[in-house]
Amino acid sequence: MIDVDVLVVGGGPSGSSLATFLARKGVDVRVVDRAHFPRPKPCAEYLSPQASRLLEAMGALEQVELSGAAQLSGISVRAPSGDVIKGDFVASHGFRGFRDRGLSVRREVLDAILLDCAREAGARVKEGIRVTDVVRDATRRVVGVRTMTDGTAGEIRARLVIAADGLRSVIAHRLELAHALRWPRRLALVTHYMGVAEIGEHGEMHVERDGYVGIADVGQGVTTVALVVPASRAREFSEDRAAFLDRWLLARPHLAPRFARAERVSPVVATGPFASHARRAWSPGAALVGDAADFFDPFTGEGIYAALRGGEMLAESVRESLAAMSPGASYAPLAAYDAARRREFGGKWFVERVIGAVVGSAPLINRAARRLSARKDLADLLIGVTGDFVPADRVIRAGYVWRVFGL
Ligand SMILES: Cc1cc2nc3c(=O)[nH]c(=O)nc-3n(C[C@H](O)[C@H](O)[C@H](O)COP(=O)(O)OP(=O)(O)OC[C@H]3O[C@@H](n4cnc5c(N)ncnc54)[C@H](O)[C@@H]3O)c2cc1C
């Protein structure tokens, strides 16, 4: 009683990527999402230069660029001291991304384009279906999911169920694979403005003692703004998020004049805490991809790349798993996918955690900014790592750390 070979729960970047690559391999795949697209997603909306390789492979790059996405030439980080680290994607370190620029595009636009790629590749996409639980057989193997559609309960049976359902993945939690990390516990307020002054080609991160804000052009005169603060401040904006955000921005003398004539054009959405990690990205009959498997902190902003790349990596393992002759043999490709993720993303996870700690400490970020503002070569290297085209080990070495933090 199988309804479909592969059921992908979640039509965000990870689900769309996986479904596109699977459908192209001739696999019978269905995507379900509780939302109706286009739908917003709280995000700072930056895509690293290397994410364009995956957009191209999915057949989405041209459409994303034509949609009016902004092109970013690098990232700047302002420390509480006022020192600015400015890194460019094109630099003298000898590494080059798939594209010389990053993209910045509204998730409403991006995610709808990506889901259409999955449809065009042959995946069956059903919107407005919320998955509420997994269904397991007597051996505890996942054999399907329970659903809720317009108040009606249902069930979908599949040979493999993929959790691409984001940060608070129902599947990852029901399978007890993912857990929230105790640190960092941060919340974000995300919105869009028109008319912010002095928006240039660099994505901006402004770190303050009480949080940080990401600001970037997302095309067509719109600026995305994502403020991240410790979760302990949640009560301060429980009644009026917009007023809290305004107060935060207007209290910064270097930001206030830039927002003086700006008009907010989307609701202020709150999200978080974010940090979550899966001890294993698979279970018999199921696998996790994208945020369902792990997410750390928005500061380094590469969740979309990891989601797209995770989908690409998982596609081959899913095909091998389906071809296996016995349930037991079908697990090895999923375990291999998990190991491959750790090899591919392990260095980045380490760098993200170091950056997460530095950003949370004014003395450390001030020290790093003082050094990196004077050493463009080191700044470019770090921005290249966060841009997914410079190997993480180029900054995980004693010499680099000493030059940034040494006395
Ligand atoms: C404040 C903030 C800023 C960020 N900024 C950036 C950035 O600038 N650049 C970047 O690369 N990354 C950024 N990220 C991370 C990025 O948003 C995620 O890593 C990325 O969206 C992960 O994609 P995904 O497909 O795994 O999950 P999602 O994009 O979350 O998609 C999950 C999908 O699953 C659906 N779903 C959820 N539950 C169910 C259910 N029970 N049943 C059915 N469907 C379900 C949802 O409707 C959704 O469509 C940011 C994150 C945050 C929180």
Query: pTM of this prediction?
Result: 0.98
The rounded distance, in Å, linking the Cα atoms of 107 and 99 is 20
Q: What are the residues facing 76 on neighbouring strands?
A: 86, 204
291 touches 303 (CB < 8 A): yes
Task: Spell out which residues line ligand 1, taking CB within 6 angstroms.
Answer: 9-15, 32-35, 41-47, 130-131, 164-166, 170, 188, 190, 226, 271, 274, 290-292, 295, 298, 301-305, 307
Tell whether the model's pLDDT for residue 150 goes beyond 90: yes
Judged against a pLDDT cut of 90, whether residue 285 lies above it is answered with yes
φ, ψ at 202 (rounded to 5°): -100, 135
Instruction: Determine the Cα–Cα distance for residues 160 and 3; give it in Å rounded to an integer.
Output: 11
Q: For residue range 356-369, what is the model confidence (pLDDT) as tens digits? A: 999 999 999 999 99
- CA-CA distance, 373 to 110, in Å (whole number)? 33
Residue 1: band (very low, low, confident or very high) from pLDDT cuts 50, 70, 90 = confident
- Confidence label for 407 from pLDDT (cuts 50, 70 and 90): low
The pLDDT value recorded for residue 327 is 86
* Whole-number pLDDT of residue 302: 79
Ligand 1 probe mutation, 33, 189, 386, most atoms within 8 A of CB: 33
Nearest-CA residue for atom 41 of ligand 1: 131
Q: Distance between CA atoms of 30 and 10, rounded to whole angstroms?
A: 10
Residue of minimum CA distance from atom 2 in ligand 1:
43
Distance CA 390, CA 379 (A): 12
Structure-token pair, residue 133: 């639980």
Q: Among the atoms of ligand 1, which is closest to the Cα of residue 46?
A: 8
Residue located nearest, by CA, to atom 30 of ligand 1? 166
Q: What is the mean pLDDT of residues 200-218?
A: 97
Distance linking the first and last C-alpha atoms of the chain: 66
pLDDT at 301 over 90: no
- pLDDT (tens digit, 9 = 90+) per residue, 304-341? 999 999 999 999 999 999 999 898 899 999 999 999 99
Confidence at residue 107, expressed as pLDDT on a 0 to 100 scale: 98
Res 144: pLDDT:
98
DSSP secondary structure of 8-70: EE--SHHHHHHHHHHHHTT--EEEEESS-SS----S--EE-TTHHHHHHHHT-HHHHHHTT-E
Burial class (CB in 10 A: 0-12, 13-18, 19+), 198: exposed
Distances, alpha carbon 388 to alpha carbons 197, 286, 308, 341, 381, in Å: 29, 27, 12, 14, 11
Q: Is 301 helix (H, G, I), strand (E, B) or coil?
A: coil
Instruction: Find the mean pLDDT for residues 202-209.
Output: 97
Q: In whole angstroms, what is the distance from residue 105 CA to residue 41 CA?
A: 12
Token output for 342? 């750790």
Does 53 have pLDDT greater than 90? yes
Q: Which tokens in the block code for residue 5?
A: 């070979």
Q: What is the pLDDT of residues 17-34, one digit of tens each?
A: 999 999 999 999 999 999
Residue 203 token pair = 């994505």
Per-residue model confidence (pLDDT) at position 244:
98
Q: How would DSSP label each residue in 202-239?
A: EEEEEEETTEEEEEEE-STTEEEEEEEEEGGGGGGGSS
Average pLDDT, the chain: 96
CA of 110 to the centre of ligand 1 (A): 12
Query: For position 406, what pLDDT does the model report?
Result: 82
- Give the span between the Cα atoms of 154 and 131, in whole angstroms: 9
User: Closest Cα to atom 27, ligand 1: which residue?
Assistant: 166
Is residue 263 within 8 Å of 193, Cβ to Cβ?
Answer: yes
CA atoms 181, 184, 185, 186: torsion sign: negative
Q: What value, to the nearest 5°, has the Cα angle with vertex 314 and ends 309 and 52? A: 20
**364 vs 14: CA distance, rounded Å:** 34
Distance between CA 386 and CA 296 in Å, rounded? 13
